[in-house]
Amino acid sequence: MRLSCSVSADSVVFCATDDSSDSEGSVESNQSCRNEKTLPERLEILTNQGLLPAVKVFLDWLRANTDIIVMCAQSSQSLWNRLSVLLNLLPDSRKILEAEVPLCEEVSELLSACERPDLHQTLPLPEDVALRHLPALRAAHKRLDMDRESPTLSTLQESVVRLSCIRSFGHFLTRLQGNVLHFNPEAGIFTSVSQSEQENLLQQARAQFRMAEEEARRNRLMRDMAQLRLQLEVSQLEGSLQQPKAQSSMSPYLVPDTTALCQHLGLLRQLAGSGRFMIIIPRTVIDGLDFLKKENAGARDGIRFLESEFRKGNRYIRCQRESGKSFERHKLKRQDSDAWHLYKMVDSCRQLTVSQGSGEEDTAGMVTILTGFHIEDITALSPHMQAAIQAVAVAGIELKNILEFYRQWKEMG
C-alpha cells in the first residue's frame, strides 16, 4: 500500500491505494477513493515519517534570511512548488482543534496562531536544543528560553508544533515581496506563483498533482527494474541447476543502437510490449536518429515512436540522460562514427549497471546492446569497430544482432 493525496476545497484527503495499479488507474482510484485516513491517522503518518524536523530547521533559517528568498524567488520555482505541496498536505489548525487531538495548553495556543505569518515559537523542540549554538539559527532561537523548564511533549505534540511553524512560514511567504506563494482562503490551499502571472489556481493545482504523479511514476520504474533484475537472477539460478548449457535467461535491460531502431522498429515494439524487458535509449542513439532523419525514413519512424512512448509514459521504454564522465574521442568520431557511438553506448551501459548493482560481478548479463549490424564475422569489421566490440565484452555487456536476439526470445517462449 502507498499513501496518496488529493486537494479539495475543504480538505487534503489521504487515501490508501494499491501499488499494483498503473499511473492511469491510480489517478482514477485516487479521485474515487473511499478509504480516507482520519486526521489522527494522518498526524501519525507525518510523525512516523521523521522528516518534519529537517524541514522546520531549513525554514527557520530561510525566515531569518528573507533577502535570499526574495532574490531567488523566480529562479527557485521548483522549491516553492514542492513547499506548497507539503503545506497542502498539513492539516490546518481548525481541523486539528475540531478533532480534539490531545494537546497541552501551550501547544494548543501555538496551534491557534499558526495561520498567521508572525507566529512566535515558545516551546523548544529537540532539534532546536541540538542546534542551539549554531550561528545560522541564532535569529530563530532568540525567542526560545532553552533554560526554562518546558512541559514534556509527546512525539505527536512535537509534530503539531512543527506543523504550526511550517504553516506559519507558508503564510509568511505570502506576505513577502515577489509573491513567492499565494494562499486561497476559500479553497484553503497554498499555490506557488509561476513566472506567468496569468496561470489560475486550478492550473497550478494540476501542476502540483502532475509533479506528485511523476515522482510516483519514477518510484514505480525503480520497483519494476528491481523486479526484472530479481527475475534474471532466479532464471540464471534455475538454468545453472537444471540446464547448465542452455541459455535459460536473457538480459532485462536492452539498449538498441541507431541501426536497430531504423531497421527493426517492429521487433523493438514487440520486445517493449512484452513487459519482459526494460528498453533503455541512450542520448547518443537519439542524436544518431536526429542526424539521419533527413535522409532515412526509418530514423524518422523511430523518432516518432520514441516521442509517442515518452509522452505516454511507457514504463518499459526509458530515455537515459548522460551523467558522469563520458567517452570522448573527437578524432575517432570523424574516422569511424559507428565505433564512436558504440563506445558511447558502452559508457551509458556502465552508468546503468553501476546504478543497479554494487559491483561488476553483480551486473554481468544485466545489459544487452541490440544492433542491426551482423557481427558473426568480427574480422570483416573495421579495426576501430573490433576494438569497440572488445570493450563491450570487457565491460561485461552482451552485444547481439537484434534478429538473433528476437529469434532466441521467441524460442524460449
pLDDT by residue for the chain (413 residues), tens only, comes to: 333 444 333 333 444 344 444 444 444 444 444 456 788 888 888 888 888 899 999 998 988 888 888 887 777 778 888 888 888 888 888 888 887 778 888 888 888 888 888 888 888 888 888 888 888 888 888 878 777 777 788 888 888 888 989 999 888 888 887 667 888 887 788 887 653 444 555 666 667 677 777 777 777 777 777 677 666 666 655 554 444 433 446 888 899 999 999 999 999 999 988 888 889 998 889 988 998 999 999 999 999 999 998 888 888 888 876 654 555 565 676 677 888 888 888 888 887 766 554 444 455 678 899 998 887 777 778 888 888 888 888 888 889 999 999 998 888 76
Please give the sequence-ordered ranges of beta strands (E in DSSP) within 301-388, or none if there are none. Answer: 317-320, 367-371
- Please name the residue that has the C-alpha cell 514542492: 82
Residue 301 buriedness (CB in 10 A; 0-12 / 13-18 / 19+): middle
- Cβ neighbours of residue 378 closer than 8 Å, sequence gap 6 or more: 386, 389
CB 191 within 8 A of CB 1: no
Q: 251-412: what CATH class?
A: alpha beta
Could you give the residue ranges of the DSSP H alpha helices within 90-193?
93-98, 105-112, 126-130, 138-141, 155-174
Phi, psi of 318 (to 5 degrees): -130, 140
Secondary structure class of 192 (helix, strand, coil): strand
The helix or strand, by DSSP H or E, that contains position 284, with its residue range, turns out to be: helix 283-292
> What gap in Å lies between CA 161 and CA 215, rounded to an integer?
28
The candidate with the shortest Cα–Cα distance to 36, out of 53, 13, 54, 59, is 13
Instruction: Provide the residue type at 98 as one letter.
Output: E
Instruction: Provide the residue type at 244 as one letter.
Output: P
Q: Where are the domains positioned within the chain?
A: 1-34, 38-181, 200-249, 251-412
C-alpha 241: how far from chain center: 38
> What gap in Å lies between CA 206 and CA 27, rounded to an integer?
12
DSSP 279: E
> What gap in Å lies between CA 82 and CA 72, rounded to an integer?
15
> What gap in Å lies between CA 271 and CA 260, rounded to an integer?
12
Phi, psi of 155 (to 5 degrees): -60, -35
CB 402 within 8 A of CB 256: yes
> What gap in Å lies between CA 148 and CA 66, rounded to an integer?
29
Q: What is the dihedral of CA 384, 388, 389, 394, to 10 degrees?
A: 140
C-alpha 260: how far from chain center: 29
Angle of the 402-412 helix axis to the 265-273 helix axis, nearest 10: 40
- Please name the residue that has the C-alpha cell 501555538: 110
